Amino acid sequence: YGQFQAHLTDKEIVGGPGAQATTAKAVEAREKGAGPVLGVFSTGPEIRNTVQNLTTEIIGTVVLLLAVLTQGLNDAGNGLGVLGGLITALVVVSIGLSLGGPTGYAINPARDLGPRIVHALLPLPNKGGSDWS
């Protein structure tokens, strides 16, 4: 559990400055009249249906976690070695193709939260809302 907290904190620390690095392009696009810039920082659902969106995110997250965690099971001594990454990549692609449409494919909450916080805190001109709903 301690490693999980450190990993989550690390994602937020890295995601925040990553979002700040994209701010210059977001400001430039907004000044040219490109509309709200939240999409530069995070994902959002195409259709506002909380139950459906939450369900697809939970299913996608559980499938990804199961795929990643089962790669470490090596009881029989027949691990996949370097092919383990390929299996995980194929699972990520299949989750994106099957469940990614309704919610913008944000199966990792840590990847979305840090940049969304940065969007809320940065004083961008005419940036629009941060879509916390």
Say what the pLDDT of residue 6 is.
73
Domain membership of residue 4 (yes or no) is: no
Q: List per-residue pLDDT tens for the chain, 133 residues long.
A: 667 777 767 767 777 777 677 777 667 766 666 556 677 667 777 788 888 888 888 888 888 888 888 876 655 555 666 776 788 888 888 888 888 777 777 666 666 777 788 778 877 777 777 777 7
- How far is it, in rounded angstroms, from Cα 56 to Cα 44? 13
pLDDT at residue 117, as a whole number: 82
pLDDT of residue 74: 59
One domain, residues 66 and 39: no
Q: Specify the number of domains making up the chain.
A: 2
CB of 80 closer than 8 Å to CB of 19:
no
Domain span including residue 58: 45-105
Residue 113 lies in a domain: yes
Which pTM value belongs to this model?
A: 0.59
Residue 63 vs residues 32, 54, 115: alpha-carbon distances, Å: 41, 14, 24
Instruction: Looking at the structure, tell me whether residues 49 and 99 fall in a common domain.
Output: yes
55 occurs within a structural domain: yes
